[in-house]
Structure 1
Amino acid sequence: MVTRTRRHTGIALGLVVVLLVGLAVGMLALLQRRLIYFPDSARVPPAGEVIEGALDVTVRTPDGLALGAWYVPAAPASDLGMAVLVAPGNGGNRSGRAELAAELSRRGLAVLLLDYRGYGGNPGSPSEHGLVMDATSAAHFLEDQGYPAARTIYFGESLGTGVVAALQSQRAPAGMVLRSPFTALADVAAHHYPWLPVRILLRDRFEVTSLLSGSAVPVTVIYGDRDSVVPSELSARVADEATTLVERVVIPGADHNDAVMFGPRVADAVARLAKAVS
């Protein structure tokens, strides 16, 4: 009788575990984009109030969205004749990248600070397809300003590295900077949720290394060695596998969103790549 009771208890516990795991998997399948994208939809201030000389501009997408963005002209005294398209990570909005844009402008680079759909007061909801469409539209905007892809550096931050990796496969730039990149989004998800079958369930893939395979675009990879969001070893693998790597910049002690990751050291690396490819 005791053995039978224990057997029934074991079966019941097993069923509870299966139900809980099934519930977690179901929730992940339904709500996964809420675990990927963290848009700050708050209204951003006028560009000129944050960065001297910056302009509020509108990027229009093929599916009819009007996306607010900031355009920062290059400082005339140091103008390199090139632009940087900044594809941000999965959180915040363009105001959080203002220091980086100002630093790049001072180094002679025009900058377009893009906010994706759903971010910074923009309409729409984010998805991998939508973000790549937004970045493609931003590249067209820069071309209209006199900066075709051949005179543009794509700067991808974290999730944005997946965006620019896809964009360069369609529209090759002069160079590309990958800040805190990952090999594929599934690798990051598996690190944070090792008990879930994320590789099967993930809809938005952002396959960085496979998209860069065979690319001839010169690449600089930047990452901190204390990154708690994107494991540093994933960023290192991106650099290891980049066949056109120009420079690897490892910032000691830096976490994913530390101020140093948006400051002069990163801007210097972008400027070095721009000068190397120009």
Structure 2
Amino acid sequence: MTLALRLLAIAASLYLLIALAVFVLQRRLQYFPDTRHTTPAEAGLTGVQEVPLTAADGIKTALWYAPAAAGKPTVLYFQGNGGGLAQRANRLAFYQSQGLGAAFLSYRGYNGSTDPISEAGLIADATAAYDWLAAHGIPPNQIAVVGESLGTGVAVQLAAQRPVGAVALEAPYTSTADIAAQIYWWLPVRLLMKDQFQSIQHIAAINAPLLIQHGTADQVIPFASGEQLFATAAQPKTLLPLPGQGHEALFQPLTWATEAAFFTATLAP
């Protein structure tokens, strides 16, 4: 074997090893949970209870819940892939300050759970949270779904399967496979990836007013991805570009205030 062929064989072997490692470890590259269990009170919240949930597959999760003021909708919130609800306590408190109800889902694998994380599992958790709200007297037209970053894929699939009053998406994507393919352009991501969250295939099934907010300078989920998802969605819909802002816009009170005003106007009794 010539030196060139040997080098080519070594390079091919190295490539296959890297591809195998990415395939095996992919969920560690996709989800970054805070696994510490924190209660709402420990996170500095008042008037919030931690409600146990059981998904259809038997996995136990939790919901941080605060009831709405009279005539106000309840926000069913799905977080992004990093951290946990403790890092979103200020968002929950903001919704409370607006009189909105808050139902913040703690996914499996987060906040003290040791169960494995998967796309199917997160959708099952979201469905359990929705069903809990419905069982406790909150009508579908008073459920306002919010998805943050990765959570937009959860929000889209839930709202495509269940009736809701309104949906707000913060920095959504067409699919996580599309985002991963931009990062790992040198790998066959769409063949390797298990949890692809194909929002582009579900968004048109949402039959509720839709608000999308997306920073035009977002380096995590490009603005163009949100634009493409918006183009596929059904009316009524609103795209609100956040000029010059990046992914940090998801954690700003102004973003949450825009949603609160949207929900209050859209879901007025």
TM bucket (normalised to shorter chain) is over 0.9
Is the alpha carbon distance of 1:105 and 1:263 closer, same or farther for their aligned partners in structure 2, counting shifts above 3 Å? farther
Q: Secondary structure at the match of 1:205?
A: coil
Matched, 1:183 2:208: no
TM-score, normalised to structure 1, is 0.89
Q: C-alpha distance in 1, partners of 2:147/2:204? A: 17
Equivalent positions of 1:20-59 (< 5 A) are 20-47=14-41, 50-59=44-53
CA contact (8 A) 2:33 2:84 kept: yes
Q: Secondary structure at the match of 1:35?
A: helix
Which string of whole-angstrom CA distances, capped at 9 and with x for unpartnered residues, describes residues 69-98 of structure 1?
311233x4xx44311110111111001111
Matched, 1:254 2:232: no
Post-superposition shift, 1:195? 0.4
Post-superposition shift, 1:146? 2.1
Q: Secondary structure at the match of 2:208?
A: coil
Indicate the percent of aligned positions where both proteins have the same amino acid: 33
Question: What is the letter of the counterpart of residue 160 of structure 2?
Answer: S
Unaligned runs of 5+ in 1: 1-6
Match in the other structure for 1:4: none
Is the alpha carbon distance of 1:245 and 1:190 closer, same or farther for their aligned partners in structure 2, counting shifts above 3 Å? farther
When the two chains are superposed, the root-mean-square deviation of aligned CA atoms in Å is 1.8
Matched, 1:242 2:237: no
Match in the other structure for 2:65: 71
Matched, 1:84 2:75: yes
CA contact (8 A) 2:63 2:106 kept: yes
Unaligned runs of 5+ in 2: none
Q: C-alpha distance in 1, partners of 2:108/2:219? A: 26
Match in the other structure for 1:270: 259
Q: C-alpha distance in 2, partners of 1:265/1:46? A: 23
Q: C-alpha distance in 2, partners of 1:22/1:268? A: 48
Decide which moves more: 201-210 or 238-247: 238-247
Question: What is the letter of the counterpart of residue 245 of structure 2?
Answer: A
Q: C-alpha distance in 2, partners of 1:123/1:137? A: 18
Question: What is the letter of the counterpart of residue 78 of structure 2?
Answer: A
Q: C-alpha distance in 1, partners of 2:222/2:122? A: 23
Which string of whole-angstrom CA distances, capped at 9 and with x for unpartnered residues, describes residues 115-166 of structure 1?
1001011241110000000000000111233213221011111111111111
Match in the other structure for 1:232: 223
CA contact (8 A) 1:66 1:123 kept: no
The correspondence for 2:96, drawn from 105, 130, 135, is: 105
Match in the other structure for 2:164: 173
Equivalent positions of 1:216-231 (< 5 A) are 216-231=207-222
CA contact (8 A) 1:59 1:138 kept: yes
Is the alpha carbon distance of 1:152 and 1:43 closer, same or farther for their aligned partners in structure 2, counting shifts above 3 Å? same
Match in the other structure for 1:119: 110
TM-score, normalised to structure 2, is 0.92
Post-superposition shift, 1:225? 2.0
Q: C-alpha distance in 2, partners of 1:49/1:20? A: 45
Post-superposition shift, 1:200? 1.2
Equivalent positions of 1:149-160 (< 5 A) are 149-160=140-151
Match in the other structure for 2:201: 210
Q: C-alpha distance in 2, partners of 1:252/1:80? A: 33
Q: C-alpha distance in 2, partners of 1:69/1:36? A: 22
Please list every run of at least 4 consecutive aligned residues from structure 1 whose deviation after the TM superposition is greater than 3 angstroms. 45-49
Number of matched residues? 267
CA contact (8 A) 2:168 2:259 kept: yes
**Bigger CA radius of gyration:** 1
Q: C-alpha distance in 1, partners of 2:48/2:205? A: 36
Q: C-alpha distance in 2, partners of 1:48/1:73? A: 19
Q: Secondary structure at the match of 2:202?
A: helix
